[in-house]
Amino acid sequence: MKNQKLTHNKQKPAWRSPCPIARALDIVGDKWTLLVVRDLVLGKQTYTELQSSPEKIPTNILADRLRRLEQHGLLKKRRYQAHPPRYSYHLTPKGQALGDALHEIVEWGLRYIPGSSTAGTKE
Amino acid sequence: MKNQKLTHNKQKPAWRSPCPIARALDIVGDKWTLLVVRDLVLGKQTYTELQSSPEKIPTNILADRLRRLEQHGLLKKRRYQAHPPRYSYHLTPKGQALGDALHEIVEWGLRYIPGSSTAGTKE
Q: In the structure, how many helices (H) and strands (E) does chain B have?
A: 5, 2
* Beta pairing class for A75-81 and B75-81: unpaired
Q: What is the pLDDT of residues A15-71, one digit of tens each?
A: 999 999 999 999 999 999 999 999 999 999 999 999 999 999 999 999 999 999 999
A123: pLDDT strictly greater than 70: no
| pTM metric for this prediction | 0.87
For residue A85, the SS3 value is coil
Q: pLDDT band at B3, cuts 50/70/90?
A: very low
Answer yes or no: do B35 and A22 touch at CB < 8 A.
yes
Domain ranges of chain B: 33-117
Q: What is the pLDDT of residues B70-83, one digit of tens each?
A: 999 999 999 999 99
Show the CA angle centred on residue A79, arms to residues A76 and A80, nearest 5°. Answer: 120
Q: Which residues contact A123 (CB under 8 A, 6 or more apart)?
A: A52, A53, A54
% of chain B at pLDDT higher than 70: 86
Q: pLDDT band at B121, cuts 50/70/90?
A: low
B49: pLDDT strictly greater than 60: yes
Count of pairs with CB atoms under 8 A, one residue in A, one in B: 159
Separation CA B30–CA B34 (nearest Å) = 8
Residue B39 confidence (pLDDT): 97
- CATH number for the B33-117 domain, one of 1.10.287.620, 1.10.10.10, 3.40.50.20, 3.20.20.70? 1.10.10.10
Answer yes or no: do A24 and B113 touch at CB < 8 A.
yes
CATH architecture of A20-112: Orthogonal Bundle (1.10)
Q: Which of B8, B16, B25, B121 to mutate to test the interface with A (most CBs of A within 10 A)?
A: B25
State the amino acid at position B95 in one-letter form: G
B2: pLDDT strictly greater than 80: no
A-chain residues within 8 Å CB-CB of B18?
A: 54, 115-117, 119-120
Q: What is the pLDDT of residues A75-122, one digit of tens each?
A: 999 999 999 999 999 999 999 999 999 999 999 999 999 999 998 665
ipTM of the predicted assembly exceeds 0.90: no
